[in-house]
A and B are shown apart, each in its own frame.
Chain A
Amino acid sequence: DTEVTQTPKHLVMGMTNKKSLKCEQHMGHRAMYWYKQKAKKPPELMFVYSYEKLSINESVPSRFSPECPNSSLLNLHLHALQPEDSALYLCASSPHQGLLSGNTIYFGEGSWLTVV
């Protein structure tokens, strides 16, 4: 099973709402990622968790708050978003890094977020 599951697939939220995106994998991967993708642009790295600890934050605004409650789950909490935050949010996972390994990163199908 090489599946990364993201829910919901579509989310519409107002600028004052609080919502969450969820991501789940059961491949035993210990690195999990959030990416943001605007239309016709490549995915942009937002956060990386390694062994349930936040290891990379690409200077993402605090209105995006990631959480990794256990090794299988990754959440992205959303609060006070702006319309320009509307995008496809992608979750991914990969095995623990090995310096000379070529570990594959597996992506989910994404959550389409519209902020109104």
Chain B
Amino acid sequence: DAKTTQPTSMDCAEGRAANLPCNHSTISGNEYVYWYRQIHSQGPQYIIHGLKNNETNEMASLIITEDRKSSTLILPHATLRDTAVYYCIVRATGDNFNKFYFGSGTKLNVKP
């Protein structure tokens, strides 16, 4: 299973864009990149996922490099409520499809 590497923590000023990087250099061609976040004491919340192309939804944008070895989650205008741990996950395929493993994640601190 492809592993992910994320910085332990990041700071972001309120109202500015938050750019959270993730390395997944061993990703396979048909494995998806997922992003979740977990606000303190709550269940993980789905943000976005993608395969090759960049994706955008009402929460965030996902930029995947052409070689797919890394990606960046962008929160365009961070608010204090975006303070959370953000997890980048590569989802396996085939028999391992349901082995959905969390890595260490990035603690994003949004500051006033």
**Residues of A with Cβ closer than 8 Å to B?**
4, 31, 33, 42-45, 48, 50, 55-56, 88, 90, 92, 94, 97, 99-100, 102, 104-110
Chain A's closest residue to B44 (CB) is A107
Please tell me if the beta carbons of B43 and A90 are within 8 angstroms of each other in the complex.
yes
Please tell me if the beta carbons of B100 and A42 are within 8 angstroms of each other in the complex.
no
Of the residues B30, B87, B99, contact of A45 by C-beta under 8 Å: B99
Please tell me if the beta carbons of B43 and A107 are within 8 angstroms of each other in the complex.
yes
Q: A42-B87, A107-B45, A109-B43 are in contact. Are A99 and B97 (CB under 8 A)?
A: yes
Please tell me if the beta carbons of B98 and A55 are within 8 angstroms of each other in the complex.
yes
In the complex, which residues 45-92 of chain B have their Cβ closer than 8 Å to any Cβ of chain A? Answer: 45-46, 49-51, 85, 87, 91
Please tell me if the beta carbons of A110 and B98 are within 8 angstroms of each other in the complex.
no
State the majority secondary structure of interface residues on B: loop
State the majority secondary structure of interface residues on A: strand
In the complex, which residues 11-38 of chain B have their Cβ closer than 8 Å to any Cβ of chain A? Answer: 30, 32, 34, 36
Please tell me if the beta carbons of B98 and A99 are within 8 angstroms of each other in the complex.
no
Please tell me if the beta carbons of A100 and B30 are within 8 angstroms of each other in the complex.
yes
Please tell me if the beta carbons of A102 and B102 are within 8 angstroms of each other in the complex.
no
Residue B103 is within 8 A (CB to CB) of chain A in the complex: yes
Q: CA–CA, A33 to B51, complex, Å?
A: 23
Please tell me if the beta carbons of B43 and A102 are within 8 angstroms of each other in the complex.
no
Residues of the A chain whose Cβ atoms lie less than 8 Å from the Cβ of B103: 42
Q: CA–CA, A104 to B79, complex, Å?
A: 25
Of the residues B51, B93, B94, B98, contact of A56 by C-beta under 8 Å: B98
Residues of the A chain whose Cβ atoms lie less than 8 Å from the Cβ of B99: 45, 48, 56
Q: CA–CA, A99 to B32, complex, Å?
A: 11
Of the residues A42, A99, A107, contact of B30 by C-beta under 8 Å: A99
CB<8 Å pairs between A and B, sample of 6: A4-B43, A42-B105, A48-B98, A100-B93, A104-B49, A107-B43
Q: CA–CA, A25 to B100, complex, Å?
A: 19
